[in-house]
Amino acid sequence: MKSHKPRILDHPAGTNSKDIRANFRRIERREWWLWTAAAIITLLLTMGLASFLLPNAHLHQDFYTGTVLPQAIRGLVGLVFLFDLYTIYQYLLIHRIRRQLVDREELFHLISENAADMIAVVDMEGRRIFNSVSYQKVLGYSPAELQASSGFEQIHPDDRERVKRAAAEARRTGVGKTLEYRLRHKNGSWLVLESTSSVIQNADGQPEKLVIVNRDVTERKKADESLRRLETGFRSVVEDAPYGIYRANTAGRFLQVNPALKKMLGYETTEELLDKDLPGEIFRYPEEYQRLTELLIRTEEIKDLEMEWKRKDSTPITVRCSGRRVNEENGGLAYFEAFAEDVTEKRILERQLRMAQKMEAIGRLSGGIAHDFNNLLGVIIGYSRVLKRELGASNPLAEHALEIEKAGQRAASLTKQLLAFSRQQVLSPAILNLNTLASDMGKMLPQLLGEDIEVSLVLDPKLGNVKADQSQLEQVIMNLAVNARDAMPDGGKLKIETSNAELDQAYVRNHPGSKIGSFVLLAVTDTGTGMDAATLTHIFEPFFTTKELGKGTGLGLATVYGIVKQSNGYIGLESAIGKGTSFQIYLPRYAGQAVADELKTDSPDNLRGSETILLVEDSEPLRKLAKSFLDSRGFQVLSAESGEDALEVAKRFGGPFDLLLTDVVMPGMNGRILAENLLLRQPGIKVLYMSGYTDSFIAGHGVLDPGIHLLHKPFIEEVLIRKVREVLDGGKAAMPAATPITELAGTSIR
Same domain, 107 and 130: no
Q: CA-CA distances (angstroms) from residue 674 to 654, 680, 704? A: 16, 10, 16
Q: For the purposes of burial, counting CB atoms within 10 Å of the CB of 183, is it exposed (0-12), middle (13-18) or buried (19 or more)?
A: buried
Same domain, 140 and 218: yes
Cα 462 from Cα 452, distance rounded (Å): 31
Contact yes or no for 101/8 (Cβ under 8 A): yes
Q: For the purposes of burial, counting CB atoms within 10 Å of the CB of 516, is it exposed (0-12), middle (13-18) or buried (19 or more)?
A: exposed
3-class DSSP state for residue 459?
Answer: coil
In this predicted structure, the answer to whether residue 135 has a pLDDT above a threshold of 50 is yes
Per-residue model confidence as pLDDT tens digits over 412-445: 776 766 665 555 555 667 888 888 888 888 887 8
Same domain, 22 and 98: yes
3-class DSSP state for residue 593?
Answer: coil
Is the bond preceding residue 714 a cis peptide, omega within 30 degrees?
A: yes
Top pLDDT among 52 and 516 is at 516
For residue 613, what pLDDT band results from cuts at 50, 70 and 90? very high
Helical (H) or strand (E) element with 747: none
Q: CA-CA distances (angstroms) from residue 580 to 133, 209, 551, 577? A: 94, 95, 20, 7
Cα 477 from Cα 483, distance rounded (Å): 10
In this predicted structure, the answer to whether residue 552 has a pLDDT above a threshold of 70 is no
What φ, ψ does residue 386 adopt, rounded to 5°?
A: -60, -45
Most confident of 488-492, 560-564, 591-595: 488-492
The predicted pLDDT at position 693 comes to: 65
In this predicted structure, the answer to whether residue 675 has a pLDDT above a threshold of 60 is yes
Same domain, 210 and 105: no
Contact yes or no for 340/321 (Cβ under 8 A): yes
pTM of the model: 0.45
* N- to C-terminal Cα separation, the chain: 129
Contact yes or no for 245/257 (Cβ under 8 A): yes
In this predicted structure, the answer to whether residue 498 has a pLDDT above a threshold of 50 is yes
Q: What is the mean pLDDT of residues 550-569?
A: 70
Cα 184 from Cα 160, distance rounded (Å): 12
Top pLDDT among 72 and 99 is at 99
CA 140 distance to own-chain centroid: 54
Number of domains in the chain: 5
In this predicted structure, the answer to whether residue 591 has a pLDDT above a threshold of 90 is no
Of 44-58, 226-240, 593-607, 637-651, which range is least confident?
A: 593-607
The predicted pLDDT at position 743 comes to: 27
Contact yes or no for 160/152 (Cβ under 8 A): yes
For residue 130, what pLDDT band results from cuts at 50, 70 and 90? confident
In this predicted structure, the answer to whether residue 331 has a pLDDT above a threshold of 70 is yes
Q: Considering the domain boundaries, does residue 326 fall inside one?
A: yes
In this predicted structure, the answer to whether residue 524 has a pLDDT above a threshold of 70 is yes
Contact yes or no for 481/583 (Cβ under 8 A): no
Contact yes or no for 665/701 (Cβ under 8 A): yes
For residue 512, what pLDDT band results from cuts at 50, 70 and 90? low
Torsion of CA 220, 221, 222, 223, to 10 degrees: 50
Q: Considering the domain boundaries, does residue 408 fall inside one?
A: no
Q: Considering the domain boundaries, does residue 749 fall inside one?
A: no
> Count of CB atoms within 10 A of residue 456's CB?
11
- Paired strand residues for 47: none
Domain end, chosen from 187, 222, 257, is at 222
Most confident of 20-29, 81-90, 575-584: 575-584
Average pLDDT score over the chain = 76
Most confident of 23-27, 381-385, 592-596, 611-615: 611-615
In this predicted structure, the answer to whether residue 255 has a pLDDT above a threshold of 80 is yes
Cα 119 from Cα 123, distance rounded (Å): 14
Q: Considering the domain boundaries, does residue 718 fall inside one?
A: yes
For residue 661, what pLDDT band results from cuts at 50, 70 and 90? very high
Contact yes or no for 334/344 (Cβ under 8 A): no
Helical (H) or strand (E) element with 13: none
The predicted pLDDT at position 695 comes to: 56
In this predicted structure, the answer to whether residue 647 has a pLDDT above a threshold of 50 is yes
Q: How many CA atoms lie within 13 A of 399 on its CB side?
A: 3
- Paired strand residues for 246: 257, 338
Same domain, 551 and 631: no
Q: CA-CA distances (angstroms) from residue 589 to 33, 513, 594? A: 124, 18, 12
Domain that holds residue 107: 17-112
CA 536 distance to own-chain centroid: 28
Same domain, 675 and 714: yes
* Burial per residue of 689-719, b for 16 or more beta-carbon CB atoms within 10 angstroms, e otherwise: bbbbbbbbbbbbbbbbeeebbbbbbbbbbee
CA 742 distance to own-chain centroid: 45
In this predicted structure, the answer to whether residue 748 has a pLDDT above a threshold of 50 is no
Strands 686-691 and 659-663: parallel
In this predicted structure, the answer to whether residue 632 has a pLDDT above a threshold of 70 is yes
**DSSP assignment of 343-404:** -HHHHHHHHHHHHHHHHHHHHHHHHHHHHHHHHHHHHHHHHHHHHHHHH-TTSTTHHHHHHH
Contact yes or no for 149/13 (Cβ under 8 A): no
Strands 178-184 and 190-201: antiparallel
Cα 483 from Cα 492, distance rounded (Å): 13
The predicted pLDDT at position 463 comes to: 87
Same domain, 636 and 734: yes
* pLDDT over 90 percentage in the chain: 5
Strand boundaries in 243-315, DSSP class E: 244-248, 254-257, 301-310
Q: What is the mean pLDDT of residues 156-160?
A: 87
Of 79-83, 196-200, 384-388, 613-617, which range is least confident?
A: 79-83
For residue 662, what pLDDT band results from cuts at 50, 70 and 90? very high
What φ, ψ does residue 728 adopt, rounded to 5°?
A: -65, -35
- Percent helix, percent strand, percent coil in the chain, to nearest 5: 50, 20, 30
In this predicted structure, the answer to whether residue 709 has a pLDDT above a threshold of 90 is no
Top pLDDT among 76 and 449 is at 449
Same domain, 434 and 578: yes
Q: What is the mean pLDDT of residues 377-382?
A: 86
Q: What is the CATH number of the domain that holds 627?
A: 3.40.50.2300
What φ, ψ does residue 379 adopt, rounded to 5°?
A: -65, -45
In this predicted structure, the answer to whether residue 620 has a pLDDT above a threshold of 50 is yes
Cα 611 from Cα 589, distance rounded (Å): 43
Q: Rounded to the nearest 5 degrees, what angle is found at the Cα of 193, between the Cα atoms of 192 and 195?
A: 155
Q: Considering the domain boundaries, does residue 509 fall inside one?
A: yes
Same domain, 67 and 216: no
Q: Considering the domain boundaries, does residue 8 fall inside one?
A: no
Q: Considering the domain boundaries, does residue 391 fall inside one?
A: no
Q: What is the mean pLDDT of residues 736-741?
A: 30
For residue 545, what pLDDT band results from cuts at 50, 70 and 90? very low
The predicted pLDDT at position 747 comes to: 26
Of 140-144, 371-375, 420-424, 457-461, which range is least confident?
A: 420-424
**Rg (alpha carbons) of the chain, rounded to whole number:** 57
Domain end, chosen from 92, 112, 132, is at 112
In this predicted structure, the answer to whether residue 702 has a pLDDT above a threshold of 60 is no
Same domain, 551 and 453: yes
Q: Considering the domain boundaries, does residue 351 fall inside one?
A: no
Most confident of 205-209, 588-592, 655-659: 655-659
Q: What is the CATH number of the domain that holds 150?
A: 3.30.450.20
In this predicted structure, the answer to whether residue 13 has a pLDDT above a threshold of 50 is no
In terms of Cα–Cα distance, which of 584, 586, 579, 467 is closest to 529? 579
In terms of Cα–Cα distance, which of 527, 526, 545, 525 is closest to 535? 545
For residue 638, what pLDDT band results from cuts at 50, 70 and 90? very high
In this predicted structure, the answer to whether residue 375 has a pLDDT above a threshold of 70 is yes
Domain end, chosen from 112, 141, 165, is at 112
Q: What is the mean pLDDT of residues 262-274?
A: 87
Same domain, 91 and 200: no
Same domain, 443 and 484: yes
Q: What is the mean pLDDT of residues 714-732?
A: 83
